[in-house]
Amino acid sequence: MRLFHYILLSFYVIGSCRVVAQGIVVPDKKYSKIELRADFRFLRAILEEAHPSLYQYTSKEVMSTLFDETYRKIGDEMTEKEFGLLLKPLVTKIRCGHTDIRYSPETRKINRIRNRTQALPLGFWIDNDRLFVAKNDSKDSIRLGTEVLEIEGNSVGKILRTLRKYLPADGYGEQYKDAMLENGFFEDYYLDVFGGKERYQFVIKTDNGLAKSIMPELKPRILPTRPPRVAPDVELNNRLNRLRNLTYPTEVASTALLKIASFSYDDYESYLMIHERFFKELEQRNIKNLIIDLRQNLGGNHEIALDLMKYLMDTDFILTASAEAPVFIPSFISNNDVEQQESNRTFSEKMIKKCAEGTYCLNIPSVGKHKPYDLYRFKGSVYVLISEQTFSAASSFVASLKAQKAVTLIGRETGGGEAGCNGGIISTVVLPATKLRVLFPHFRITTAVKVPNIGRGVEPDIAIHYSIAQRLDKQDLELSKVYELIRKRELSKLGH
């Protein structure tokens, strides 16, 4: 929803202003046990007061034990980074992909500088607890697809199981964590948790199945050349095409492919107008099959997802069944001078109302039932491509669409929860002493799915799993499967 998107950005910006108001962070500064314990008590208090699903997946008894155990582990002195690494595994036990501990901007800057001198020479694909070379930035000839068995004496299984403890995700699925590690976070988390150095020792599996120890040397990093400037309208068009793009594959007849990389193109254009243009075009071309590719869509504006559903549904429907919070205005919002003005506009009786059983609901029109559009509504077959990176608003869209319409999902379980996620309003809370950031969602957002919440993502109707060889060949198995299904359906209509 547009409100969700706007407020999230507002709090991120306001949260970053607090650094100036509360002093510059020194990343290597040691904080006393008194300061660290005060920060911890503050964190625990705000989570227990206002988190919308603190005990959704981990019981209150277990969470209380984890709080107490973590508190006892606080050292006499710790840096911001050391304290953050202590807190992250605790917060991930909430099993919410929108709740996280992040370093202050100053510490993140230091980490980026460190990463340039201690970078890993290899990038990886993950297959369960196995690691394969996906990128080689070393001077050594290491074949892509080579299996890595150890890094610095630690087995790959141990490394992956350890790193996953630090990454937030919805529910019990680990697939979203692995996708994040593959897409740039492996190096960051590895250096944080295991430490960095100038060169690393790897054990790889050779082509004849033997283990071989290597110490590849990183190539000098060459700054990429700046691409030639293009006209602003061309750059805008290129950016929009990366976010959403409608094409007509030649492999099958009467078929359109709508790729949506993010529900965020409302920053650059009217999604109402572009959706109308897209679906008008589908009607004019007499398109019978629509493929919606959400495999890289990590979410965004729920209003974009809502408007898209209006062109796909045949009857009244729900995208968001409810958006509930345990409190009206959390104490950490009302007590924060910097964020007070924004909170007065956001946490108002116009935006939030008291609902059943003592909870508070986000009072916006996009929650609840909606009617589909009459004009340009698509009446053909719908196929949706999904993956571990289908998250947040994108996963909610898939879950609610599947629950109310006969569509075919192809790919892998979504990273976002089938039952919903936490969000609506997301604040960036700053711990008073260490300045660690807490990403804090305020509302429990539920989808139209009526089955019990088992803490998993949306499962595909047709599951796709890639071998390392297929990834090397850059095959697109989901699209190939859709084309196969469409051809079979057309043949069956002809009586073949």
Per DSSP, the three-state class of 287 is coil
Instruction: Return the amino acid letter for 221.
Output: R
pLDDT at 8 over 50: no
pLDDT band at 478, cuts 50/70/90?
very high
Q: What is d(CA 362, CA 302) in angstroms, rounded to the nearest whole number? A: 13
Cα–chain center distance at 264: 14
pLDDT value of position 254: 97
Whether 445 contacts 397, CB under 8 Å? no
- Encode pLDDT of 263-277 as tens digits: 999 888 899 999 999
pLDDT band at 338, cuts 50/70/90?
very low
Q: Where are the domains of the chain?
A: 2-103, 120-214, 232-425+443-493
**Residue 177 φ/ψ region, left for φ over 0, alpha for ψ in the -120 to 50 degree band, beta for the rest:** alpha
Q: What is the mean pLDDT of residues 431-435?
A: 93
Q: Among residues 104, 105, 109, 69, which one has the least CA distance to residue 89?
A: 69
CATH homologous superfamily for 120-214? Answer: PDZ domain (2.30.42.10)
Mean pLDDT score of the chain: 90
Q: Name the architecture of domain 2-103.
A: 2-Layer Sandwich (3.30)
356: DSSP letter: G
Looking at the chain, the whole-number percentage of residues with pLDDT higher than 90 is 76
pLDDT value of position 136: 96
Element (H, E) at 202: strand 202-205
pLDDT band at 496, cuts 50/70/90?
low
User: What pairs with residue 289 in β-bridges?
Assistant: 255, 381
Q: Global pTM? A: 0.91
Q: What is d(CA 76, CA 74) in angstroms, rounded to the nearest whole number? A: 7
Tokens of 431: 């711990």
* Angle between helices 271-284 and 302-310 in degrees, nearest 10: 30
pLDDT at 65 over 80: yes
Tokens of 318: 């729900």
Q: Name the architecture of domain 232-425+443-493.
A: Alpha-Beta Complex (3.90)
pLDDT at 9 over 70: no
What is the bridge-based pairing of β-strands 408-411 and 462-463?
parallel
pLDDT at 344 over 60: no
pLDDT at 308 over 60: yes
pLDDT band at 113, cuts 50/70/90?
confident
Element (H, E) at 22: helix 2-22
pLDDT band at 336, cuts 50/70/90?
low
pLDDT band at 152, cuts 50/70/90?
very high
Q: Which residues contact 492 (CB under 8 A, 6 or more apart)?
A: none
pLDDT value of position 221: 77
Alpha helices in 51-185 (DSSP H): 60-72, 80-92, 105-117, 156-164, 175-180
Tokens of 486: 């469409």
Instruction: Return the amino acid letter for 466.
Output: Y
pLDDT value of position 26: 62
Per DSSP, the three-state class of 191 is helix
Q: How many helices (H) and strands (E) does the chain have?
A: 16, 22
- Encode pLDDT of 157-179 as tens digits: 999 999 999 999 999 989 999 99
pLDDT value of position 337: 32
pLDDT at 121 over 80: yes
